[in-house]
Structure 1
Amino acid sequence: MKRRNFLAISLLLTSHFAAVSCAQAQLNNISDAINKSGRQRMLSQRMAKAYLQIGLEVDLERSKKILDLSLSTFDRQAVELRAYAPTPEIKSAMQEMEKTWGSYKELLVGKAANKHDAKAIMSISEELLRMNDSITSQLEKHAGTSNGQLVNLAGRQRMLSQRIAKYYQAAQWGVTPTDGNAKLEAARKEFIASMSILNASANNNTRINEELAMAQQQWLFFDNAIKQTDDNKGRNLAATNVATTSERLLEIMDKVTGLYQQISA
């Protein structure tokens, strides 16, 4: 895989990709920071998922576009978040995270997708997720509001959609770690439990409830896709279904996160 011009590629993407991954030019408030930091968690998993799909030649052209745009979005948001960091502790955590990000990025670009690098990507994507999850939790704590918690929780659902797909595609390519199936199932259970919490929130308005209902429908399609692994032909079709349904679920949960951010601003 050749190194790409991220900006040129992103300008050619459809509105679907832009709606999910593009960030605003600057951070306006703490809710915006929580949203974008939560998006960094998601991107850590989405990039790994896209890399695996490229290796599998699943939904190939879209997977390449997803990887390119995710790389450029993560880079931009990391700069924004470090500049915004409201405490020295959060700024220090951001600086440490960026060191791991540099190592991750080197694996993701510059050469063709391969199983050796895929195994390293599986490992480092976990570390990058952990670091960004910690930063998001610190921002939520700094905000000190229940709505900030909802922005974080809904944002985490975006990440889980990609995490589940990442572990599924890793299994299809034979690069999943020994605890991969357990982590997939744990992410699946967490997603279901968190949807119950979001659906029950007294802060929901009509628009949020409508989007959550759409997310629940899409989850059923996604959950069904990750259970389909029969023969070779069936596996390829299932992997493609996981690729597409994980993106649709991500898109809806990104809208939900934005709606929670609006009511907490």
Structure 2
Amino acid sequence: FSCNSFAFSKQQMGTVINLAGKQRMLTQKMSKEILLIAKGIDVDANRANLKKTADLFDKTLKGLVDGDASLGLPKTTDAAILAQLGKVSELWAAFKPNVDAAIAGAPGKAVLEKVAAQNLPLLKNMNKAVQMYAKMSGSNLDPAMATTINLAGKQRMLTQKMTKELLLIANGIDVDANKANLRKTVGLFERTLKGLFDGDADLGLPGTKDAAIRAQLEVVQGLWNEYKPVLDKADTSAAGLAKAAKLNIPLLKEMNKAVKMYEKSVK
């Protein structure tokens, strides 16, 4: 039995779920950036982005464990969650050399294969921690709102995961498996977006009545309508990849705005 959730205010709990959730996205964003570098796309910019992404992942992971005032994170005291974050730290220590290799030079096939093998365990174990936080928040955050923040947050991750999958295909890594993964990711993003608008009982989403948040979701929908055809075709032509490189970050950012709006709406 844990009373630790009472140590967090509702707002703090929202921040914890948001930033822990954002870590899921960062695992995919880093992987995507490594793959963009490998494809020779905007190499210098992506090296700089990769360094930033990795630093933020590292800082947030430490902040979840020890607290970080600059991120608005309270220290986690729940033993089970700390153990789970410990697992994430171990996986991160194993993944980090891939990041370093891509920052130092052109990542070879061996690095890309490691990225392909290691990124999902890192994502899944981070996701497990998010779910533990969400469960712990049950006592002081409306469950429907906790689910909404969690799944809206997960959409950020999916924007990066689908782009990563397209780039794995483009780099010739596990092509058939990644085509199947890409289809699944696209389907889940689409379904969740619809559920955020209108509700989805199976996903536990109540839907959104707030006009401002709905308007923000419309912005996301517009970008999604533009990006989806590239993904549906798994278009790895130069034009397809250029479009993916151009659209995935605006899609992520606009989705992130929606998450922040949900977070702010917590009274």
Whether TM exceeds 0.5 here: the answer is yes
Does the residue aligned with 2:174 lie in a helix, a strand or coil?
Answer: coil
Please, what TM-score do these two structures have when normalized by structure 1?
A: 0.84
Q: Is the aligned partner of 1:97 residue 2:88?
A: yes
Instruction: Find the counterpart in structure 2 of residue 169 from structure 1.
Output: 167
Instruction: Find the counterpart in structure 2 of residue 240 from structure 1.
Output: 242
Shift of 1:176: 3.0
Q: Is the aligned partner of 1:88 residue 2:79?
A: yes
Task: Name the amino acid aligned to 1:102.
Answer: A
Please, what TM-score do these two structures have when normalized by structure 2?
A: 0.83
Which of these residues, 214, 217, 239, is aligned with residue 212 of structure 1?
A: 217
Q: Which runs of 5+ in 2 are unaligned?
A: 1-9, 67-74, 199-205
Which of these residues, 44, 59, 62, is aligned with residue 61 of structure 1?
A: 44
Deviating more after overlay: 144-153 vs 187-196: 144-153
Q: 1:206-247, CA deviations, whole angstroms, 9 ceiling, x for partnerless residues? A: 2211110000010011112224567xxx71121111112111
CA contact (8 A) 1:37 1:132 kept: yes
Which of these residues, 180, 183, 192, is aligned with residue 182 of structure 1?
A: 180
CA distance in 2, matches of 1:103, 1:142: 28
Q: 1:43-71, CA deviations, whole angstroms, 9 ceiling, x for partnerless residues? A: 00010001000010123333222211101
CA distance in 1, matches of 2:116, 2:195: 29
Q: Percent identity at matched positions?
A: 22
Instruction: Find the counterpart in structure 2 of residue 250 from structure 1.
Output: 252
Instruction: Find the counterpart in structure 2 of residue 13 from structure 1.
Output: none
CA distance in 1, matches of 2:265, 2:13: 13
Q: 1:142-184, CA deviations, whole angstroms, 9 ceiling, x for partnerless residues? A: 1112211111010100000100000101111112365211111
CA distance in 2, matches of 1:173, 1:133: 26
Shift of 1:42: 0.3
Once the two structures are superposed, the pairs formed by residues 195-234 of structure 1 within 5 Å of their partners are: 195-200=193-198, 201-227=206-232
Summarize the Cα distance change of 1:123–1:73 in structure 2 as closer, same or farther, 3 Å threshold: same
CA distance in 2, matches of 1:131, 1:71: 17
Q: Is the aligned partner of 1:34 residue 2:1?
A: no
If asked which structure has higher relative contact order (CA below 8 Å, sep 6+), I would say 1
Instruction: Find the counterpart in structure 2 of residue 15 from structure 1.
Output: none
CA distance in 2, matches of 1:34, 1:188: 23
Does the residue aligned with 1:29 lie in a helix, a strand or coil?
Answer: helix
Give the total of aligned pairs.
Answer: 236
Instruction: Find the counterpart in structure 1 of residue 201 from structure 2.
Output: none
CA contact (8 A) 2:182 2:231 kept: no
Q: Which runs of 5+ in 1 are unaligned?
A: 1-26
Summarize the Cα distance change of 1:228–1:184 in structure 2 as closer, same or farther, 3 Å threshold: closer
CA contact (8 A) 1:228 1:235 kept: no
CA distance in 2, matches of 1:192, 1:99: 33
Instruction: Find the counterpart in structure 1 of residue 123 from structure 2.
Output: 129
Shift of 1:86: 4.3
Summarize the Cα distance change of 1:68–1:192 in structure 2 as closer, same or farther, 3 Å threshold: same
CA contact (8 A) 2:14 2:263 kept: yes
CA distance in 2, matches of 1:248, 1:208: 17
Task: Name the amino acid aligned to 2:228.
Answer: D
Shift of 1:203: 4.6
